[in-house]
Structure 1
Amino acid sequence: MVASIFTQVLFDKICDQLADGKSLREICEKKGMPNRKTFHVWCKNSQELKAQYDEACLDREDAIFDDILYIGDTAKDSKLGKLAMDAKQWTLARMNRKKYGNHITEEMVGANGGPIQIERVRLNMAPVEELPE
């Protein structure tokens, strides 16, 4: 029987495992856990639960980042280690593009971070008769 009755203890347990780097799929497939849809319904029905889930997801990013460093330092098989690191890096970049994505953003701003000021300047120049060679 799949647990589908909400308890704060169960919700906390799920969030703790998320914060430790586990996926929601992996957690919800365990005996005694609700299915993912039930978990998401709980989050949608309560701002407090949604905030707790969001915080656990942010903590999961840190756990995944830590896993990448650990794999890089301890992998016995370099090919398998690189594969695991690349998969985690790809996932992390999609979870938080701004923090972990491989992109460059350029912004143009005016003085003191304000809007760019555009000025039109008309130059009055005397005509050049002939340019030296």
Structure 2
Amino acid sequence: MANGQGLRKICEDPSMPSRQTFLRWIEKDTGRQTQYQAAREALMDWYAEEILEIAWDDSNDTIKDKKGEPKANHEWINRSRLKVDTLKFLMAKLHPKRYGDRLPEAVEDRNIQISWQAENPINRIELVGVRPEREIISPIHDDAGNVINASDNSALRKRIIELEERLGVREAPPAPPKLLTWDPGPLPSRMDGEIVLKLVDVIKQHVPQADQRPPEEVLDEVLAECAKALQTKYSPTAG
């Protein structure tokens, strides 16, 4: 933050925890809340230097008209004014002791409201000039219940990513594409009576007429042999 990056931009880094996780960390840790407040005020100091750069940048204050005569570039000037006013507003609200309209002696300690669930006001911590008791946060465990060493940054980062994916605050890596099954394609659309008659003639020519078994049994055997022949012929592993 001291180098000009906000919390959202920092948490967009894949190697960093999400913004919800960060706010959940400092929700019950007054020490980290104080550090975060100091970092945010350092960001306001960065904005003050940014205002100076915007104000002194007169490179595009004038442009040339069709006749080649210089004239004021009102679009550039208005845009610069909007940037300066926006930064001034943020500085006055987030660091009023230094950049507010009133004298530092008249500025009371501002309420610090930190929440990782903004829609639920019960989860917010409000400090009105009183430092509450510090609560110890439980250590991080793995799925087996073992405590992860706090100095093992790689293991902690891996565990945080796993938990965030389960909570739905971090998108899981895309799954590999599913394998396509072999499709032999549709049967011929011309399955009319002529083809059926030809199939019956083929069966009559190759099945002995002296077979004394019931017709249903003979038909089942013939169909099974036809299916076996078609599978042998058109199977993707055939040949």
Fold-level match, TM-score > 0.5? yes
SS in 1 for 2:4: coil
- In the alignment, which residue of structure 1 is the partner of 2:100? 101
Q: Does 2:72 align with 1:78? A: no
- Give ranges in structure 1 of 5+ residues lacking alignment: 1-17, 108-133
Cα separation, 1, equivalents of 2:104 and 2:37: 26
**1:87 corresponds to which residue?**
86
Distance of 2:2 and 2:57 partners within structure 1: 22
CA distance in structure 2 between the aligned counterparts of 1:105 and 1:92, rounded to whole angstroms: 14
**In structure 2, do the counterparts of structure 1 residues 20 and 105 end up closer, same or farther at CA, with 3 Å as the change threshold?**
closer
1:115 corresponding residue in structure 2: none
Structure with greater Cα Rg: 2
TM-score of the pair, normalised by structure 2:
0.33
Q: Deviations over 1:73-132 (max 9, x none)?
A: 12532221111111101111111223212347998xxxxxxxxxxxxxxxxxxxxxxxxx
Over 3 Å counting, the alpha-carbon distance change for 1:84 and 1:106 in structure 2 is same
**What CA distance in whole angstroms lies between the structure 1 residues aligned with 2:35 and 2:77?**
37
Structure 2 CA distance, aligned partners of 1:92 and 1:49? 21
Quick one: distance in 1 between partners of 2:4 and 2:38? 13
Q: Which residue of 1 aligns with 2:16?
A: 33
Shift of 1:45: 4.2
When residues 106 and 47 of structure 1 are mapped into structure 2, their CA distance, relative to the original with a 3 A threshold, is closer
What is the CA RMSD across the aligned residues, in angstroms? 2.6
Identity of aligned residues (%): 30
Conserved in 1, the CA contact under 8 Å of 2:98 and 2:104?
no
CA distance change for structure 1 residues 38 and 63 in 2, over 3 Å: closer, same or farther?
same
More strand, by proportion: 2
Q: Which consecutive segments of 4 or more residues in structure 1 shift more than 4 A?
A: 103-107
| 1:31-67 per-position Cα deviation (integer Å, ceiling 9, x unaligned) | 3322212111222343443333222112111111111
- Structure 2 gaps of 5+ residues are 61-75, 107-239
CA shift at 1:26, angstroms?
Answer: 1.9
Q: Which has the higher helix share?
A: 1
Cα distance 1:50–1:103, how it changes in 2: closer, same or farther (>3 A)? closer
- Paired positions, count: 90
Partner of 2:13, secondary structure, is coil
1:51 equivalent in structure 2: 34
Over 3 Å counting, the alpha-carbon distance change for 1:25 and 1:105 in structure 2 is: closer
Q: Does 1:19 align with 2:18?
A: no
Aligned residue type for 1:95: L
The 1:102–1:44 alpha-carbon spacing in structure 2 relative to 1, beyond 3 Å, is same
